[in-house]
């Protein structure tokens, strides 16, 4: 890394304050203005400024998008502080792409002070792409999130708008590691259908998030939750992935409606590791025949989960690799892989009931992962499963993906709801719907059907 020492004219702050600064470089190539110290860094011919110091006593920091020196104008792209500070607010422009924790951190210290009251973000889309570095993946005594100022702030603004209900903008495909770590002021999060990846610990410590809203359940099922990986044994080479929950006991909502009965959509054949980990609202889970695999911890710690219905006679894969280690064998060094259960360990497996198709009980009991359920029962996975009076069930036909009604009493208007409570059809005429489990209500009666 080549560090360029030049006389600098700090004009970038004028973007926000209208002020212009002239400051000569120190002997070590650092430049100061308004109590902020910047360094010009050149890597492979590409130059940018990094904020490396904030004087003690400076309370409100506004980082400019760019600074101008004798050679030209360069963006401010990083924050890598050398010393602690005692600021009360910081405004971060869209040009920032990395924030580092202090080099000399220990497990009990942090870059950002307890005096920090709010963080102002100029561009939320840009914020979701910032890389946060804290050395937590190297040193076991260093906690995550030390580089993120949101973990210390009591408020967050996007522009001039105070944010408690976070809406990730449509078009966002990835959220970086630790992006909202420790943001305890958030009450809810809405994700876009464009999202494909959430970095590890992106929402760790967001203890007050009560709901997570997704516009498209099938799209959400395709999101990859990145695990936190740490080498846990230098001697054996054992490393292990930790799937850090996005939900934190929050309830799942689809288009604003709370989901207590979750049916995996028709277009989904696999559930990624950690995807619904720690969800607080799912009470009943329906896994159709087209689902062939569930990743590690995909439904771990779902404390509300009481019933799991699997419609495939052949047990789907219910695990994925969470770690590996190299061991010596007679033939040389071999790699052993460690797998994690889709439903985690302990309480959920002891409490929830797993329902499997008639005739497949032994196959599930003998499976290494499905067999961990303490309560496994058979059920009729075909046709209509009645949950109310037989009279209504006798007037419903489900054939070829079409629900039709016959002989309903005058004035009775049936309603068809998906298992997550969304109204899909109203009226006595027939309706074509994707395969799944539905609840039909007519008058005082209701029936559950599968098509």
In a domain, 110, yes or no: no
Take residue 285 and report the two structure tokens written for it: 């889970």
Confidence of residue 104 (pLDDT cuts 50, 70, 90): low
With 0.95 as the threshold, say if the pTM is over it: no
- Judged against a pLDDT cut of 60, whether residue 241 lies above it is answered with yes
DSSP secondary structure letter of residue 127: H
What is residue 384's predicted lDDT score, i.e. its pLDDT?
Answer: 42
- Judged against a pLDDT cut of 80, whether residue 394 lies above it is answered with no
In a domain, 421, yes or no: yes
Percent above pLDDT 90 for the chain:
53
In a domain, 305, yes or no: no
Instruction: Name residues whose C-beta falls within 8 Å of residue 157's C-beta, 6 or more positions apart in sequence.
Output: 118, 119, 120, 121, 163
Confidence of residue 28 (pLDDT cuts 50, 70, 90): low
Tell me if 284 sits within 8 A of 309, measured CB to CB.
yes
Across residues 18-31, what is the average pLDDT?
A: 47
Number of folded domains that form the chain: 1
pLDDT tens column, 343-390 = 998 889 999 999 999 999 999 999 999 999 999 999 877 644 433 334
- Judged against a pLDDT cut of 50, whether residue 63 lies above it is answered with yes
Across residues 242-246, what is the average pLDDT?
A: 90
In a domain, 20, yes or no: no
Confidence of residue 42 (pLDDT cuts 50, 70, 90): confident
Half-sphere exposure of 96 (CA within 13 A, CB side): 28
In a domain, 106, yes or no: no
Highest mean pLDDT among 155-164, 213-222, 330-339: 155-164
Give me the chain's average pLDDT, please: 84
pLDDT tens column, 245-271 = 999 999 999 888 899 989 898 889 999
CA dihedral 153, 163, 176, 249 (to 10 degrees): 90
What is residue 391's predicted lDDT score, i.e. its pLDDT?
Answer: 47
pLDDT tens column, 178-222 = 999 999 999 999 999 999 999 999 999 999 999 999 988 999 999
Tell me which of 383 and 291 has the higher pLDDT: 291
In a domain, 404, yes or no: yes
Tell me which of 59 and 1 has the higher pLDDT: 59
Least confident of 27-36, 46-55, 422-431: 27-36
Beta strand 431-432 with 423-426 is unpaired
The whole-angstrom separation of Cα 80 and Cα 96 is 11
Least confident of 74-78, 84-88, 402-406, 442-446: 442-446
Mapped onto helix, strand or coil, the DSSP state of residue 363 is: helix
What is residue 182's predicted lDDT score, i.e. its pLDDT?
Answer: 95
Tell me if 305 sits within 8 A of 348, measured CB to CB.
yes
Residue 392: give the domain boundaries.
384-450
pLDDT tens column, 140-155 = 667 888 899 999 999 9
The radius of gyration of the chain's CA atoms, rounded to the nearest angstrom, is 27
Tell me if 251 sits within 8 A of 210, measured CB to CB.
yes
What is residue 382's predicted lDDT score, i.e. its pLDDT?
Answer: 67
Instruction: Name residues whose C-beta falls within 8 Å of residue 14's C-beta, 6 or more positions apart in sequence.
Output: 20, 64
Take residue 441 and report the two structure tokens written for it: 């209500």
Highest mean pLDDT among 99-103, 169-173, 322-326, 427-431: 169-173
In a domain, 430, yes or no: yes
What is residue 100's predicted lDDT score, i.e. its pLDDT?
Answer: 92
What is residue 5's predicted lDDT score, i.e. its pLDDT?
Answer: 30
In a domain, 444, yes or no: yes
């Amino acid at each position: 890394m080549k560090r360029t020492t030049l006389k600098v004219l700090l004009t970038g702050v004028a973007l926000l304050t209208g002020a212009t600064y002239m400051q000569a470089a120190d002997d070590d190539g650092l430049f100061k203005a308004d109590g902020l110290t910047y360094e010009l860094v050149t890597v492979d011919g590409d130059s940018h400024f990094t904020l490396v110091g904030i004087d003690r006593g400076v309370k409100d920091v506004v980082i400019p998008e760019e600074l101008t020196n004798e050679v030209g104008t360069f963006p401010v792209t990083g924050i890598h502080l050398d010393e602690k500070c005692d600021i009360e607010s910081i405004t971060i422009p869209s040009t920032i792409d990395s924030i580092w924790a202090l080099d000399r951190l220990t497990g009990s210290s942090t870059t950002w002070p307890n005096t920090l009251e709010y963080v102002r973000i100029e561009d939320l889309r840009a914020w979701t792409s910032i890389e946060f570095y804290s050395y937590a993946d190297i040193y076991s005594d260093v906690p995550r999130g030390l580089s993120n100022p949101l973990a210390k702030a009591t408020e967050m603004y996007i522009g001039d708008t105070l944010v408690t209900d976070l809406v990730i903008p449509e078009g966002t495909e990835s959220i970086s590691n630790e992006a909202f770590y420790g943001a305890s002021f958030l009450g809810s999060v809405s994700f876009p259908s464009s999202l494909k990846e959430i970095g590890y610990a992106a929402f760790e410590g967001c203890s007050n998030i009560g709901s997570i809203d997704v516009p498209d359940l099938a799209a959400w099922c395709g999101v990859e939750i990145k695990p936190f990986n740490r080498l846990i044994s230098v001697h054996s080479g054992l490393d292990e992935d930790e799937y850090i929950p996005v939900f934190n006991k929050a309830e799942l909502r689809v288009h604003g409606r709370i989901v207590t009965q979750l049916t995996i959509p028709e277009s989904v054949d696999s559930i990624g590791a950690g995807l619904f980990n720690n969800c607080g609202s799912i009470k009943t889970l329906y896994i159709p025949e087209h689902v062939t695999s569930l990743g590690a911890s995909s439904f771990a710690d779902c404390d509300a989960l009481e019933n799991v219905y699997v419609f495939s006679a052949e047990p789907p894969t219910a695990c994925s690799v969470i770690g590996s280690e190299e061991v010596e064998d007679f033939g040389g060094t071999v790699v052993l892989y460690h797998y994690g259960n889709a439903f985690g360990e302990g309480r959920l497996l002891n409490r929830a009931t797993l329902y499997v198709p008639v005739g497949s009980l032994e196959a599930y009991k003998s499976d290494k992962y499905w067999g961990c359920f303490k309560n496994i029962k058979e059920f009729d996975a075909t046709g209509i499963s009645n949950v109310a009076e037989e009279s209504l069930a006798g007037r419903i036909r489900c054939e070829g993906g079409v629900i039709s009604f016959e002989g309903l009493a005058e004035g009775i208007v049936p309603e068809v709801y998906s298992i997550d409570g969304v109204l899909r059809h109203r009226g006595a005429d027939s309706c074509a719907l994707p395969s799944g489990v539905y609840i039909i209500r007519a008058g005082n009666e209701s029936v559950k059907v599968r098509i």
